[in-house]
Amino acid sequence: MSWRNACDNDPVNKYPDVFDENLGTLPGKVHLQVDATCKPVVLPARKIPVAVREKFRNELKRLEDLKVIPPVDKRTEWVSQIVVAMKKSGSLRICIDPKPLNAALKREHYQIPVIDDLLPDLTDVDKVDLASAFWHLKLDEESSVILTTFATPYGRFKWLRLPFGLNVSSEIFQKRLNQELEGLPGVKCIADDVLIYGTSEADHDRNLV
């Protein structure tokens, strides 16, 4: 049953500042750590296929406007390449492709649950999907400049938000989101999905709103 029909108050209308199109921000900043014995790597920009160049430049501009990436005009120890993923909508997602950096990053080794771990608790349940989930976390200045600079045919940029593509991003985001949701009844998260559940429909509705 849809929560829009099940609840007297539609949460989307009740909390418009939560369900909007703006990029949210979780408290604190992320500090990425690397193994000091690993040598920094600087990689050249990959060519962008002619068929998607306009979309690519538009997406770069959109990310700049969102303050997710700014240009970089100084030397950095690490420079990664990027990979372009096509969405079902036809739009692009620009991801960092940091193979050498991933080999140097220190993992958090934070346990990410799977749905089977949560099934015993899930009776009446709804799911909230966090758009661009990792971008809800800001990087500190050192991590942003030194580690996440990436090259494009149109210049170098750095990530101000936790980027997709890092092997630590899922663990870091899961840990931070769990910390923010800790103590809320009937709420659990798996990656970018927040699950709201209850032992009954009424219990579910109370936890939802």
Taking 60 as the threshold, does the pLDDT of residue 63 lie above it?
yes
Does residue 6 sit within a domain?
no
Does residue 35 sit within a domain?
yes
The CATH number for 169's domain is 3.10.10.10
Does residue 5 sit within a domain?
no
Q: Band of the pLDDT at 106, cuts 50, 70, 90?
A: very high
Residue in 203, 205, 207, 143 with CA at minimum distance from that of residue 4: 205
Q: What is the mean pLDDT of residues 172-186?
A: 80
Query: Which residue range forms the structural domain that includes residue 38?
Result: 11-208
- Sheet hosting strand 150-152, strand order edge to edge: 71-72, 155-157, 150-152
| CA gap 185, 193 in Å, rounded | 16
Does residue 47 sit within a domain?
yes
| CA gap 27, 180 in Å, rounded | 9
How many domains does the chain divide into? 1
pLDDT for res 6: 45
| CA gap 65, 185 in Å, rounded | 37
Does residue 1 sit within a domain?
no
pTM assigned to the model: 0.77
Q: Band of the pLDDT at 181, cuts 50, 70, 90?
A: confident
| CA gap 208, 158 in Å, rounded | 37
Does residue 3 sit within a domain?
no
